[in-house]
Amino acid sequence: MISKAIFDKGCRACPRLATFLDEVQQRYPDYYCGPVPPFGAPDARFLIVGLAPGMHGANRSGRPFTGDHAGILLYQMLHKYGFGNRDQSESVDDGLVLSDCRITNAVKCLPPDNKPVGAEINTCNSFLANELDSLPEQSVVLALGGIAHRAIIKALGERQVEFPFAHAAVHDLGQFRLLDSYHCSRYNTNTRRLTEAMFDAIFATAREMLDKS
Tell me whether residue 35 or residue 50 sits nearer to ligand URA (CB atom): 50
CB of 107 to ligand URA, least distance (A): 9
Q: Which is nearer to ligand URA, 105 or 189 (CB)?
A: 105
Least distance to ligand URA, CB of residue 1, Å: 29
Which of 128, 116, 104 is CA-nearest to residue 49? 104
In the bound complex, which residue of the shown chain has the CB atom lying closest to ligand URA? 50
Cβ proximity to ligand URA: between 118 and 157 the closer is: 118
Interatomic CA distance for residues 53 and 104, integer angstroms: 10
Closest CB to ligand URA among 35 and 54?
54
Positions that interact with ligand URA (CB under 6 A): 50-54, 57-58, 64-65, 70, 105
Residue number, 11 or 58, with CB nearest to ligand URA: 58
Give the span between the Cα atoms of 192 and 208, in whole angstroms.
25
* H or E segment to which residue 50 belongs: strand 46-50
Q: How far is the CB of 54 from ligand URA (least distance, A)?
A: 4
- Alpha carbons 26 and 164: distance in angstroms, whole number: 40
Whether residue 73 contacts residue 45, with contact meaning beta carbons closer than 8 Å, is answered with: no
Instruction: Name all contacts of 25-31 with Cβ < 8 Å and 24+ positions apart.
Output: 28/60, 31/59, 31/60
Report the nearest approach of ligand URA to the CB of residue 137 (Å): 27
Reported in sequence order, the residue ranges of 110-175 that DSSP labels E, i.e. its strands, are 139-144, 170-172
Least Cβ distance, residue 168 to ligand URA (angstroms): 18
The sign of the dihedral angle between the CA atoms of 66, 70, 76, 79 is: negative
Closer of 105 and 205 to ligand URA (Cβ): 105
Instruction: Compute the Cα dihedral for 121, 175, 140, 171 and give only its sign.
Output: positive
User: Least CB distance from residue 47 to ligand URA, whole Å?
Assistant: 13
